[in-house]
Structure 1
Amino acid sequence: MAKPFRFNLERVLDIRGQLEERAKMELGKASAACTAKQREIDRIINEKNAREASMSQKAVVTPEELWLWQAYRKRLVADIQTGQVKLAELEEVRERCRRTLVTRSKDKKLLEKLKSNKAERHAQQEKLAEQNENDDMASIRYQPPVY
């Protein structure tokens, strides 16, 4: 009777799969954070450009409006710069998550390959054992012809 294949490191493979899934989720979160920050920066840039356009179209600008506009513009520029710094940090985090995912995927694939090789070897050994058993049965049952 053939023994079913049992991979000794199945639990380790399961854990590696869970780690890979967790790394995928972390990469997804990091990518979403980068995308959200980029959208925020784009929104601020669009706001600044729209305000600049509206200020340039005004025929008469009072000193108070000019002062308010300059303060608001400085704040928008500062927000853009701060956002770009934060975006760079988020992109570094995303890159670390990507590298972690690649490492964990390689670890999992390595174990899957090992499992596949061991399963194949087990199947070959079982086939050989069955063939030997059949050969033994045939030689025992063989009755040479009587002359």
Structure 2
Amino acid sequence: MTLEQRRAWIRLVVAVLGYAVYLVVVLGRAAGEPLASVSYGGPLLWTVGGAIAAAILAEIAFAVANPRASQLKDDRDREIGRLGDQAGHPFVVIGAVAAMLMAIVDWAPFWIANVIYLCFVLSAVVGGIAKVVVYRGSVPEW
């Protein structure tokens, strides 16, 4: 497994787990109240920060466990990275446009922040899945 393939797996798993933790915490705080009244800022920041830290620590742990693994990036890795980024990028745009429209019509900040977070996670997941699938097969030729 190449360095970039391992990173794709780590980031994919961490994105899903981080968002799942966030949902459990926020939904647990709701306890029958409207979601827009739930205190979400702390859990959002902690899960984003925790996911970043977890990804870094996982990459370090894998590097320590297998120090002879290649650290090189070749053309195939760059193409797969580009493809994954292109697959996930539309969700960032969708999230930004949705948040802008939600702000224009004065939606609660809870919903705006959560649509942005969800779209970031979708971008990471879709991009990660695209990378993992292509690593298992071959880079499509256009």
Q: By the TM > 0.5 criterion, same fold? A: no
TM-score after normalising by structure 2: 0.39
TM-score after normalising by structure 1: 0.38
Higher-Rg structure is 1
Higher relative contact order, structure no. (Cα contacts within 8 Å, ≥ 6 residues apart): 1
